[in-house]
Each structure stands twice: as C-alpha cells, then as structure tokens.
Chain A
Amino acid sequence: MDRYRDAVNSDLLAVVPALNEEASVGDVVASIRAELGADVLVVDDGSTDDTAQRALAAGATVVRHPFNLGVGAAMRTGFCHADRHGYKVLVQIDADGQHPPGEVAPLVEMVRRGDAGGPVSVAVGSRFAGGSGDPYEVSALRRAAMRMLSRSVSRRLGTTITDTTSGMRAFGPDAIDRFAVSYPTAYLSDTVEALLLAGAWGMRVVEVGVEMRPRETGVPSNRSVRSAYHLLRLMFVISVFGVRRPLQRTGL
C-alpha cells in the first residue's frame, strides 16, 4: 500500500465538503486558515458553479468528485486524503459558514489532548449542550426524532450525545485510519452511524457545546418524505448493527 506520510504544513486538516457554495467557500477557507492554522481540503462534490476556483484562490487544496456523491462520501474522500498524508487531526467544517472556526478549536484541543477520562477519538460539537438553545426552526416532529436518535446512540455509546446529526466534529488519528475505509455515505448515516461505529471500535466519543450560525439560504422544501425514509433506514441499520461484515481496505 502506497501511503504518503508527509504532513504538509500542519498536523490538522480541515475538510470542507462543498456543493455549489461559491458565495461562501472563499471566506470559510480564509477564516479556517487564519483562525485554526490548519491545512484546508475542499471536497467539491460535483458543483456546477465556481466553488472549486474560489476555494483554490483562498488557499485550499481542492479535490473534485466528477458527480455528486453526498456529504458522507465527500467526508470519506477527506478521510482518505488525511490518512494518506499523515494528518493527525481531522475536523469537518461546512462550506456555508454555519460552523465558525473559533467554535471548532475546543473540539480540536479535545482530540489532541483528551480530557479527564482519557484520550478522545471523536469530539462532537453539539448545538443543544450548553449552547444558547437552537437557532434552527426545527419542526416538533423532527425534534422528537432527533431526541430519539440521541437517546439510542447515547445508550449504545455509554456517554451522553445530544446532537447526533451535528456536522461539526473533530477526529483523531485512530478514527482517521478507520473512517478512511468505513465512513458511512448515506444521508443521516454519515453522522449518526459514524458515531456508532466509533463506539463499536472502542473509541471515546465526547460532546462539546458549540454555537452555530443560522443558515442564510431558505429552508429546502419537501425534505420530510426523504428524511422519514432515511430515519427508517437508519433505524434498520441500528438494529442490524454489529451483524454486518466490516468493510475492507482496498485499492491505493
């Protein structure tokens, strides 16, 4: 297996999955480099606008999928990149500016240093734990579903996770190594199932309260049917969890 062990400028890689975010990606990349001192990888997931060019201009390394694969697949690409280049810490940051880099720093520190309980492999930024309540207009049904998921996940992990679908997370080297192969790609699985996998591998998952900026663009319509299906699918995944054969490392 040919893996390049050179960390480029830093041991921290910020992965920014992006789909048609030309308006905000440049600023996001610049603020990450300024505030976190991290290398930035923008994974262009099949954008039809200038996302890749703007990201390059702002100083990011850019990887482009030939067609849209979804956030989970984009993150897996990011994990592969981090694994090949020997990054010690990977942090996920959205391209739309919802994740302020300042809020991400405590997650990175948590993964680097660990906490009172020992080393931490995954640090999750939660909107609901200690932050100023959630700025999202989430319907009551959605909130109930998210609460059910967080209860189920918390029970399996043995720690409290209140925001299982949060996209603001930091990962340590052991998590990077495993997620480069096994990061789930389906919608909702990329967040929730990833936490369950980490727990199943014996890694510590810890939650940190963060503040996120509200989304500027409008709320997408008719998401409810799709979300309901993925929630059902995820519940099925959780019920057969542990029974499935592990994914193998292949290729490069």
Chain B
Amino acid sequence: MIGVGLIVLVLAAVMVVAVIEAVRRRRLSEGWALLWITVAVAAVVLAMARPLVDRLATRLDVAYGTSLVFAIGIVFLVVVCINLSMQVSRLNQRVERLAQELALATEQRTGDGIAEQAPESPGDPGSSPG
C-alpha cells in the first residue's frame, strides 16, 4: 500500500532535515550525520521494497517480513548503543586525564593561602587544637 511508504518517506525527510540542521548549528559532527542520513535512506528503501523483504524473511525462516525489519532495526540500534558506550568510556578517561593535568599545572604552594599540613608542636602560638 502506498500509505506506509509515504509515512516513512515523510518521517525520513524530517529526520534528514533535523540532522542537517544539527550539523549547521555545529551540534552534530559530520560523521554521525552521515550515519543517520544513511539510516533514513535505508528506512525508505525497506518501506518501498516490501516484496523483497517478505521474500528474504521466508528464506531466513522468519514468519513475517515486518519481524525481519524489526530484528534488523533492533540489532542495528544495539550495535550503535554499544559503540556509543565505548565512546563515552573513552571520553570519561580523557576528561579525567585532562582534569589531573590541569590540577597539576595549577599547583599551589604554601604562602598561596592553603593551610600548612605539617603538624605543629603544642607550644607554638596559633596552633589549632587536635
């Protein structure tokens, strides 16, 4: 039916516009934009090629063509999520490293206003209790 194909086409077009707008505002890197535009195009292709999907489903012993599309979609999203998890892990490590380098680079010494750590003998004036 034309209905589904048209809906997918409109949604995919909206998605592509949103992605390009995000790139324009420098909120999305071009590499990721490429990925999501490809996904939008793939969605349109799959929606238009229903008989092909059904045939592939039967070949793979899957009951419905729609089940195959869902399966592919879910696997794809899981792979993307795992990749994103790895990127977040890497970013965290880098941020931690950066914070440490910054702390070391702005090291402060006595006389800069930080309290002395050396223990004072009881007779010293101004020594704090405990």
What is A's interface to B at a CB cutoff of 8 Å? Answer: 66-67, 186, 229, 232-233, 236-237, 240, 243-245, 247
Contacts and interface: CB of A to CB of B under 8 A. Distances in A.
A229 B24 CA distance: 20
Task: Tell me what chain B mostly uses at the interface: helix, strand, loop, or mixed.
Answer: helix
Interface residues of B, number: 14
Given A66-B97, A67-B97, A244 B24 contact: yes
Task: Tell me what chain A mostly uses at the interface: helix, strand, loop, or mixed.
Answer: loop
Interface of B: 20, 23-26, 29-31, 33-34, 94, 97-98, 101
A250 to B, nearest CB: 13
A170 B101 CA distance: 32
19 contacts: A66-B98, A67-B94, A67-B97, A186-B30, A186-B31, A233-B31, A233-B34, A236-B30, A237-B30, A240-B23, A240-B24, A240-B30, A243-B24, A244-B23, A244-B24, A244-B26, A245-B25, A245-B26, A247-B26
B26 A232 contact: no
A232 B20 contact: no
Contacts of A66: 94, 97-98, 101
A247 B27 CA distance: 11
Given A66-B94, A233-B34, A236-B34, 6 more contacts: A66-B98, A186-B30, A186-B31, A233-B30, A236-B30, A245-B24
The 7 closest A-B pairs by CB, nearest first: A66-B101, A237-B30, A233-B31, A243-B24, A66-B97, A233-B30, A236-B30
Contacts of A240: 20, 23-24, 30
A47 B88 CA distance: 23
A67 B30 CA distance: 23
Contacts of A232: 34
A128 to B, nearest CB: 27
B84 to A, nearest CB: 17
A192 to B, nearest CB: 13
A236 B31 CA distance: 9
Contacts of B24: 240, 243-245
Contacts of B31: 186, 229, 233
Contacts of A237: 30
A226 to B, nearest CB: 11
Contacts of A247: 26
A245 B20 CA distance: 12
A236 B37 CA distance: 11
B6 to A, nearest CB: 26
A85 to B, nearest CB: 19
B33 A236 contact: yes
A66 B104 CA distance: 12
A73 B23 CA distance: 20
